Amino acid sequence: MSASTEEIEEKPENVPFAEAFLYWLKLGFISFGGPAGQISMMHQELVEKRRWISEHRFLHALNYTMVLPGPEAQQLATYIGWLMHGVWGGIAAGVLFVLPSLFILMGLTWVYLAYGNLPAVAGILYGIKPAVTAIVIFAAYQIGSRALKNNLLRAMAVLAFLAIFALDVPFPYIVLMAGLIGYAGSHFAPDRFRTGGHHAESGKSYGPALIDDGTPVPEHAKFKWSRLIVFSAIGLAIWGSAMVLLTTSYGWEGTLTQMGWFFTKAALVTFGGAYAVLPYVYQGGVDQYAWLSGTQMIDGLALGETTPGPLIMVVAFVGFVGGWTKELFGPELLPLAGAAGAGIATLFTFLPSFLFIMLGGPAVEATRHDIKFTAPLTGITAAVVGVIINLAVFFAYHVLWPQGFTGRFEWFSLLIGIVAFVALFKYKVGIVQVIGACAVIGLGYFLFLWR
């Protein structure tokens, strides 16, 4: 047996908190590629290379995070950090996954609002917008091909699309109905709801892991009623204190207070990932509160696709633009108002994610392979496909007819979108590369060929 083989068969030594902290910090700066890319990145580093956690335990944790509302990649990092180093390990992993993205996105949003009318910036956005539309369509295809394994689930996707597109049914009601149908299906048609929603288990092994298949559950990860009550109280205290502070400072109808309440609700209905919650954020941010325009929403998704961290960080863009637009602290302090809005949106969106891990993590093993818990997710995932298709239709309309159907048709935007989709679908080009190429094309077109 070679020395290298012997090394692989040795169990890794315990990982100091400082070493894990540095890894999570690094991940926060390099986690491009959306949830699929981020999960793949963590798998390669934590399962294959460092062997901090086994393949089986990694996928089991991932399956749990998919059941939860919220960004699954960020919650997966939080879960692994919590499993390794307890509460502070989970907080470090989850916060560092988000923090770099927040500051980068705030900087880009400031540039966008302050200099967005410059020809160079407008040209870059002109190229990125159809690319984003293609990315959303591609996301609908990817999720649909994985989740819609039978005609019942396909019918649920169609009904969800019609509900939000034709009837303007709010997104939370669609999630609720899909979950109830899935739960009923677990009793009356369980075979129809066993597909979709969960990543497959794998029998691969990369050698002994620090947290291996047979590693006992650490003391901090065991279920205790006292721990459940304490964590629940702390979470509610943080949320309640923030809401009370905002209400007493700005009133219940104040912009920051309403942002806190709205993004709390958004955090609880984000089943299916960021693309699924975008229609809900659009309904609230554009239609209900007028924090930003529909065109700005597309621009925000474009910026979100080009930054590291979870795509749901687009809520920081919405909060920044909302704070800036409403001039919360007067016309002289627009950047500060934007930063406050972005901070509030991020805090209330991600706070529940930490609570879900701290409260539900100890009960993960008890729910494993239980159809009563997995079937509602399958139904929700099917409905999410229809919701994402509606989002793609919305984006395509605003990109191809920016002045409405009576205005000019942007044929060059259509061409960019088709090229972007082909690059994603056929040639498997990465999202960041596609956006970069389309930005260059849009810049050239806007500067040299426009009109």
Q: Which residues contact 79 (CB under 8 A, 6 or more apart)?
A: 61, 64, 65, 90, 357, 361
Report in angstroms the alpha-carbon separations of 183 from 143, 190, 194, 209, 382. 20, 9, 11, 36, 13
CA distance 317 to 345: 9
pLDDT of residue 6: 44
* Higher-pLDDT residue of 278, 25: 25
Residue written as token pair 């793609």? 392
Give 115: exposed, middle or buried? Use CB within 10 Å, 0-12, 13-18, 19+. Answer: exposed
Q: How confident is the model at residue 5 (pLDDT cuts 50, 70, 90)?
A: very low
pLDDT of residue 77: 93
pLDDT of residue 204: 55
Residue written as token pair 């969960």? 198
Q: Which helix (H) or strand (E) holds 387?
A: helix 371-400
Q: Which residues contact 302 (CB under 8 A, 6 or more apart)?
A: 125, 128, 129, 131, 132, 435
Give 287: exposed, middle or buried? Use CB within 10 Å, 0-12, 13-18, 19+. Answer: exposed
CA distance 160 to 385: 8
pLDDT above 70: percentage of residues in the chain:
88
Sign of CA dihedral 162, 164, 167, 170: positive
Q: How confident is the model at residue 24 (pLDDT cuts 50, 70, 90)?
A: very high
The dihedral over CA atoms of 420, 426, 429, 432, expressed in degrees to the nearest 10, equals 30
Give the mean model confidence (pLDDT) for residues 240-262: 95
Give the mean model confidence (pLDDT) for residues 421-444: 87
CB-based contact 310:95 (threshold 8 Å): no
Joined together, the tokens standing for residue 162 give 């019609």
Joined together, the tokens standing for residue 345 give 């949106």
Sign of CA dihedral 172, 174, 180, 185: negative
CB-based contact 65:72 (threshold 8 Å): yes
Joined together, the tokens standing for residue 422 give 């082909």
pLDDT of residue 197: 42
pLDDT of residue 2: 43
Report in angstroms the alpha-carbon separations of 372 from 175, 193, 239, 378. 16, 10, 30, 11
For 385-394, letters b (16+ CB in 10 Å) and e give bbbbbbbbeb
Sign of CA dihedral 142, 147, 149, 153: negative
Q: Which helix (H) or strand (E) holds 178?
A: helix 171-188
Residue type, 360: G
Secondary structure of residue 296 in the 3-state scheme: helix
Give the mean model confidence (pLDDT) for residues 177-206: 71
State pLDDT tens for residues 338-391.
Answer: 999 999 999 999 999 899 998 888 876 555 455 566 677 778 778 878 877 887
Closest residue by Cα to residue 303 from 389, 137, 432, 445: 432
Closest residue by Cα to residue 104 from 346, 293, 273: 346
CA distance 433 to 56: 32
According to DSSP, residue 376 is labeled H
Q: 53 — phi, psi (to 5°)? A: -145, 145
State pLDDT tens for residues 113-162.
Answer: 988 777 777 788 788 888 878 887 887 787 777 778 889 999 999 999 99
Secondary structure of residue 23 in the 3-state scheme: helix
Q: Say yes or no to pLDDT of 316 above 90.
A: yes
CA distance 365 to 381: 22
Work out the angle between the directed axes of helices 334-360 and 225-250 (0-180°, nearest 10): 160
Q: Say yes or no to pLDDT of 169 above 90.
A: no
pLDDT of residue 260: 95
Give the mean model confidence (pLDDT) for residues 176-195: 83
CA distance 79 to 133: 32
CA distance 336 to 225: 42
SS3 assignment for 306-344: CCCCCHHHHHHHHHHHHHHHCCCCCHHHHHHHHHHHHHH
CA distance 434 to 45: 25
State pLDDT tens for residues 58-106.
Answer: 877 776 776 677 788 899 899 999 999 989 999 999 999 999 999 999 9
pLDDT of residue 32: 63
Q: How confident is the model at residue 37 (pLDDT cuts 50, 70, 90)?
A: low
* Higher-pLDDT residue of 44, 51: 51
